[in-house]
A and B are shown apart, each in its own frame.
Chain A
């Protein structure tokens, strides 16, 4: 390479480097970093949770304690490595002290580690794995979505009583999937039901035909599925394609509205656990109307788990800052958040931030997909279970990351 070319390269790189610099902002606004999928296959989930956060911020008039709040978005790329890098950047360069977001539990775990290292507060909005408030629980990390324990135990009794006693498991083969099946298995045994088989399905499986043939052949009454994401959309189509519903009932340990929404009516047949339903209360309906007006192009036309957790997390954070009286002392805000109760969370039961594992306890919903409805009312609510009734006890989850230690 000639000298000139080389100098050109150096010049270009210096320009890039310079451009990366963000000018220092005024000290006044409170900056909250949203590390959330923007690009990639979960960009729609990310957009929904960010929309929820914005809706909550709007309710507070965009400010708290007299100071404006700025939201800075960073792309997690659904990749723990990239997410951690962006989280670090938000803290080191943008001076952010509060982080929120993440759809994937492994991303949330990575961000949590950065938050702890850098003394920032992080609320994991949408990851459901047990470890976020269990093995990987941290003093600086809170989690909004329910754990798999809460989801499964919220519905297991109903399934055993009404759907069947011979259970077959389909497990998405990674730790979140394993945890769903594990809790379901525990409940199954406690309720006197029998396991007739399990198949683990690798991440990225698009075709479940061979697995479903085995399921059909298993003699099960209930197919207990822990599977998410794009794989799940394909799975649900194939459940109908292979006429699984003729032979047994299907129960999902976690279902997202956005996975069911694109389906054909006749493909909407499973029972499932979910975190919130837009038609649950007058408040959720009103929220949905407001949301649909503000975000007409959203991937999901109604309140869903993602936007709810975003909304709730923002509300909890702002309330905690208000209670602490300051946004500059992260430790104070953490301690203020512990034990916080939010009554106007749009649900029947209030939200409680449990101090020892930093888990938000709200409610979960047991539903059945509605195969006749047009429009957005695609499920029937069978039960709404307060999380506090079914969450892990201290005996089951011996951690303590609270302030009073």
Chain B
């Protein structure tokens, strides 16, 4: 039993991030660490769609984004600039609702067309958020969200907030793993490997796709809601499909299709790579684009694993 626990990657991941703020130098950058944790929540749940069910969704940025807006609007208008838990929960539910709508409509599509419809959805949503000044603040976004106290803790302090998010992450991570290892998760894998066979075995694949989409939307919205409190603002930019593309890349980079923990590794590499390269060179986008291609080519089994079994 002890052996199994030590081999569990979660133990190490949790340990590293528990100690993050006291790590030399990098620990100073608490906001990046908090954002990283949010990306973990986002990509782990997104991987249920992508790696497990084989749904190439380029629209998940939209759920993160509306989650962020949901929390912001709830904070500003429903609670008159107060609250934390409920706005975040509302953020999560907003993400879930939008994911449910989209997931229901496209549940029987697959491949390029599925991907494409998710892009269409996210771009239209982006266009609306960008323009609807009254509700979303247009391209200036929403400001004035503040963190005060929660359960007696001063969450304005970046380190306290980091640990709060860490707890949320730990819980979500465990929940998502339970889902992945459950029979539901197994069915998702079956659907990815051979949807036709799954249907013959009596699974209404459409329903499963819908449910997993909804679940990942919920977690995306949750991460978005917390992100809104991290940055104390909400912007439309996250809804642009390129952000969703970032999530796909981060998930695949770490080999999300062959490993449950892939998204964690991928997010770390992706986020840090971008920050690292951009602080060294004006033309960092060149290196960034090239490294992306090289990494995808270097770890093809991770990606091909998803694409081959069609």
**When A and B assemble into the complex, do they touch directly, with CB atoms less than 8 Å apart?**
yes
Interface residues on A, range: 35 or more
CB-contact partner of B272 in A13, A79, A178, A203, under 8 A: A13
Whether the pair B279, A74 counts as a contact (CB closer than 8 A) is: yes
A84/B259 in contact, CB under 8 A: no
Which residues of chain A have C-beta atoms less than 8 A from B9's C-beta? 6
B residues 27-45 touching A (CB-CB < 8 Å): 28-32, 35
CB contacts (< 8 Å) of A75 on chain B: these are 278, 282, 284
Pairwise interchain contact B139-A10, C-beta atoms closer than 8 A: no
Q: Does A39 contact B (CB under 8 A)?
A: yes
Among the 9-residue stretches A103-111, A226-234, A328-336, the one with 4 or more Cβ atoms under 8 Å from chain B is A103-111
User: CA of A105 to CA of B137 in the docked complex: distance in angstroms?
Assistant: 13
A22–B25 touching, CB < 8 Å = yes
Contact pattern, B 246-281, Cβ under 8 Å of A = 1, otherwise 0? 000000001100110110010011001101101100
A256 to B139, CA, bound (A): 21
Q: Which of A12, A17, A40, A175 is close to B139, meaning CB atoms less than 8 Å apart?
A: A175
Q: Which of A86-94, A153-161, A268-276, A394-402 contacts B (4 or more CB under 8 A)?
A: A86-94
- Chain B positions within 8 Å of A19 at CB level: 276
Q: Cβ of B143 and Cβ of A136 under 8 Å apart?
A: yes
User: A113 at the A/B interface (Cβ < 8 Å)?
Assistant: yes
Taken residue by residue from 104 to 140, chain A's Cβ proximity to chain B (1 for < 8 Å, 0 otherwise) reads as 0110011001000100000000000101000010000
Instruction: Tell me, in angstroms, the Cα distance from A24 to B258 when the chains sit together.
Output: 40
Q: Quick one: which of A16, A24, A74, A175 has the most chain B CB within 10 A?
A: A16
What residues on B are CB-neighbors of A88 within 8 Å?
29, 31
Q: Is there a chain A Cβ closer than 8 Å to B231's Cβ?
A: yes
Chain B positions within 8 Å of A86 at CB level:
278
Question: Are A93 and B25 interface neighbours, CB within 8 A?
Answer: yes
The answer to whether B30 touches A92 (Cβ under 8 A) is: yes
| A113/B232 in contact, CB under 8 A | yes
* CB atoms of A20 and B35 under 8 A apart: no
Q: Does B283 contact A (CB under 8 A)?
A: yes
Residues of B within 8 A of A13 (CB): 265, 268-269, 272
Stretch at the interface among B76-84, B98-106, B167-175, B233-241: B233-241
List of B residues within 8 angstroms of A295 by Cβ: none
Query: What separation, in Å, do the CA atoms of A81 and B242 have in the docked complex?
Result: 13
Q: Do the beta carbons of A106 and B141 come within 8 Å of each other?
A: yes
Give Cα A9–Cα B273 distance, bound, in whole angstroms.
13
What 1/0 mask marks residues of chain A from 34 to 70 whose CB sits below 8 Å from any chain B CB?
Answer: 0000111001000000000000000000000000000
Assembled-state Cα–Cα distance A6/B127 (Å): 40
Interface centre among B23, B255, B265 (most CB of A within 10 A): B265
Which residue on B lies nearest to A38, using beta carbons?
A: B282
Pair B24/A21 contact, Cβ less than 8 Å: yes
Which residue of the partner chain, among B139, B231, B258, contacts A174 with CB atoms under 8 Å? B139
Known: A80-B141, A175-B138, A175-B140. A85 touches B269 (CB 8 A): no
Complexed CA–CA distance, A23 and B28 (Å): 12
Check if A85 sits within 8 Å of B141, measured CB to CB: no
A80 to B65: give the CA distance in the assembly, Å: 14
* Structural contact, A110 and B276, CB atoms closer than 8 A: no
A173 touches B (CB below 8 Å): yes
Task: Answer whether residue B219 sits at the interface, using C-beta atoms and an 8 A cutoff.
Answer: no
Q: Which residues of A have CB within 8 Å of B258? A: 1
Chain B nearest Cβ from A218, distance in angstroms: 24
Nearest to B301 among chain A residues (CB) is A1
- Determine how close the nearest CB of chain B comes to the CB of A128; give it in whole angstroms: 13
Q: Does B231 lie within 8 Å of A84, measured CB to CB?
A: yes
A18 interface contact, C-beta 8 A: yes
A105 in contact with B140 (CB, 8 Å):
yes
* B66 shortest CB reach to chain A, Å: 15
CB neighbours (8 Å) of B302 from chain A are: 1
Q: How far is the CA of A239 from the CA of B259 in the complex (A)?
A: 56
Contact with A along B182-202 (1 / 0, CB 8 A): 000000000000000000000
- B239 CB to nearest chain A CB (Å): 11
Which residues of chain A from 321 to 376 have a CB within 8 Å of any chain B CB? none
With A13-B272, A93-B25 as contacts: A39 and B140 at CB distance below 8 Å? no
CA distance A136 to B275 in the complex (A): 28
Q: Complex: how many Å from CA A9 to CA B302?
A: 13
Interface contact B284-A39, CB-CB below 8 Å: yes
10 A–B contacts, CB within 8 A, in A order: A9-B265, A18-B26, A20-B29, A75-B284, A92-B28, A106-B141, A110-B231, A113-B231, A178-B133, A203-B139
Apart from the given pairs A19-B276, A20-B276, 10 other A-B contacts in the complex at a CB distance below 8 Å: A6-B259, A6-B261, A16-B268, A38-B278, A75-B284, A81-B235, A105-B140, A175-B133, A175-B138, A202-B127
Q: Which residues of A line the B interface, CB within 8 A?
A: 1, 6, 9-10, 12-13, 16-24, 38-40, 43, 74-75, 79-81, 84-86, 88-89, 92-93, 105-106, 109-110, 113, 117, 129, 131, 136, 173-175, 178, 202-203
